[in-house]
Amino acid sequence: MTKRNISLLLVLVMALSLFAGCAKPAETPGGSAEEPAPAETPAEEPKYSFGMVTDVGGIGDKSFNDSAWAGIERAGKELGVEPKLLQSTKQDDYPPNLGSMAQSVDLTLAVGFLFEDAMKTAADQYADKKFGVIDTVVDKPNVMSVTFKEHEGSFLVGVIAGLTTESNIVGFVGGMDFPVIHKFEVGFVAGVKSANPDAKVIVNYTGAFDNPDKGKEVALTQFQQGADVIFHASGACGIGVIQAADEKDFWAIGVDMDQSAESKKNKVLCSMIKRVDTGTYTVIKAYADDTFKGGAENAIELGLKEEGVGYSDGGNNVPAEVAEVVDKYSDAIIDGTIVVPSTREELESFKPVEIK
């Protein structure tokens, strides 16, 4: 009998865990729903309607989803529309979730390559509705795709690394060895070589995005080879890179978001950031201005010029004179004087440009 009681207890605990798991993130969407004053809302039907489907990370992930939602909320405020939100609970729910959202709004947004297949189906099913996808390209006439010029942002942090290194050896830790990540690598190498022609870049890949131990291992190896600044583009492996930086006292460079908070000893020199919020905002803007264009050939790439990428210095570690040089490089990229390479082939023919 006692075993039965134990199992009953377990069941109750599990039932309660249904509540517990739910507790935290609820406030974000719920809280914002109360804010807009009803007085502002005009009586007629709003002209625009849009919403976002998150991946299983959901709102509160301090990453892609939060950033994307911030852009949507900004657009919503400007247009006087309350955007809708659907947080996915299972990875294989993406197709029906996109469909449900498309059914009730005109423009459905989602972030990441995991939505690729699902969005193709939904775009066919709701051919009269519009879709926006960030960070990947979906070739459908009613889907607007937005990607980023990660190489431009990486170039800037490369410049910072090149000006900061004392050993003249810097490291790059990539996640998986494929073209998207090569953009980070190539841009970074070009930046380092431009700012510091004598510097050498060690390039390694962890082969994963979710393994901090691996990231740490690779970073420590690079440190032993003399690297004193290491840039990572390896997702959660980067946590390990930053840990290694804390332990061995070298500089790490974060990616995607400002990662300065990840370091306990303020060893994140700066972070290459990707403005997912600019991405979602851009799509909604295009939809509201009637400049919305679908199809792969019309995919938009946001670079420095569009404020889609850049760098952030949450730890105040970049000296003013370095920041000044970086700004000059940034201007040169924006006005087209420097064309940052995005593939390994382009890097070979790239001639470093020195700006003082």
Other C-beta atoms closer than 10 Å to the C-beta of 129 total 18
For residue 221, state whether it binds other proteins (rule: CB under 8 A). Answer: no
Instruction: Name the residue nearer to other proteins (CB basis): 10 or 296.
Output: 10
Hey, which bits of 98-197 come out as E strands? 107-111, 130-134, 143-148, 169-174
Quote the tokens at residue 2. 């006692």
Residue 98 CA: distances (Å) to CA of 105, 124, 208: 11, 12, 28
Cβ-count burial 200-211 (b if 16+ within 10 Å, e if not): bbbbbbbebbeb
CB of 16 to other proteins, least distance (A): 7
Q: Which one of 193-201, 202-210, 221-229, 294-302 is the stretch in contact with other proteins (CB under 8 A)?
A: 202-210
Q: By rule CB under 8 A, what string of x and - marks binding of each residue 35-74 to other proteins?
A: ----------------x----x------------------
For residue 19, state whether it binds other proteins (rule: CB under 8 A). Answer: yes
Nearest to 354 by CA among 242, 194, 139: 194
Quote the tokens at residue 342. 């995005």
Q: Which residues pair with 130 in a beta bridge?
A: 107
CB of 209 to other proteins, least distance (A): 7
Q: Which of 60, 106, 121, 306 binds other proteins (CB under 8 A)?
A: 121
For residue 92, state whether it binds other proteins (rule: CB under 8 A). Answer: yes
For residue 13, state whether it binds other proteins (rule: CB under 8 A). Answer: no
Instruction: Name the residue nearer to other proteins (CB basis): 97 or 260.
Output: 97
Residue 56 CA: distances (Å) to CA of 91, 94, 306: 6, 9, 29
Quote the tokens at residue 309. 């990428």
Q: Which residues bind other proteins (CB under 8 A)?
A: 1, 3-4, 6-8, 10-12, 14-16, 18-19, 21-23, 26, 29-30, 33-34, 51, 56, 84-93, 95-97, 99-101, 104-105, 114, 121, 124-125, 176, 178-179, 207-210
